[in-house]
């Protein structure tokens, strides 16, 4: 593979350290699907950038036997690439259709 100057094996990354942790509950409230919560910490490779923290939650709902819908929200504290903001909140909705 070779040495790429400490910037990652296959591409560029600005994260020197990244830690994530989370958990999910299957079939919450007796419904088909899962509810999950995750956290993250990222320390950038470049000294002039600040570290950021994040929390994410989602609910994966089985709508039909072949379709998932997953609404969620992510909150980023001290965002590395938007230092003028203390927090950024991102709503999300994903859909997955199985054939």
User: How many structural domains are present in the chain?
Assistant: 1
| Residue scoring higher pLDDT (3 or 75) | 75
Per-residue pLDDT for 89 more than 80? yes
In a domain, 4, yes or no: no
CA distances from 84 to 4, 57, 93 (A): 32, 24, 26
The confidence band for 8, taking pLDDT boundaries of 50, 70 and 90, is very low
In a domain, 82, yes or no: yes
In a domain, 41, yes or no: yes
Range of the domain at 44: 15-97
58: exposed, middle or buried (Cβ count in 10 Å: 0-12, 13-18, 19+): buried
The pLDDT value given to residue 46? 81
In a domain, 3, yes or no: no
Per-residue pLDDT for 63 more than 80? yes
Q: Which residue has the tokens 């570290």?
A: 51
Share of the chain above pLDDT 70, in %: 87
């Amino acid at each position: 593979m070779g040495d790429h100057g400490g910037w990652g094996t296959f591409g560029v990354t600005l994260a020197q350290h990244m830690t994530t942790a989370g958990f999910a509950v299957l079939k919450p409230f007796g419904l088909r699907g899962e509810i999950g919560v995750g956290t993250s910490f990222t320390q950038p490779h470049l000294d002039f950038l600040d570290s950021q923290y994040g929390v994410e939650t989602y609910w994966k709902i089985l709508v039909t036997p072949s379709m998932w819908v997953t609404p969620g929200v992510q909150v980023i504290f001290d965002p590395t690439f938007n230092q003028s903001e203390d927090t950024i909140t991102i709503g999300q909705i994903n859909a997955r259709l199985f054939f």
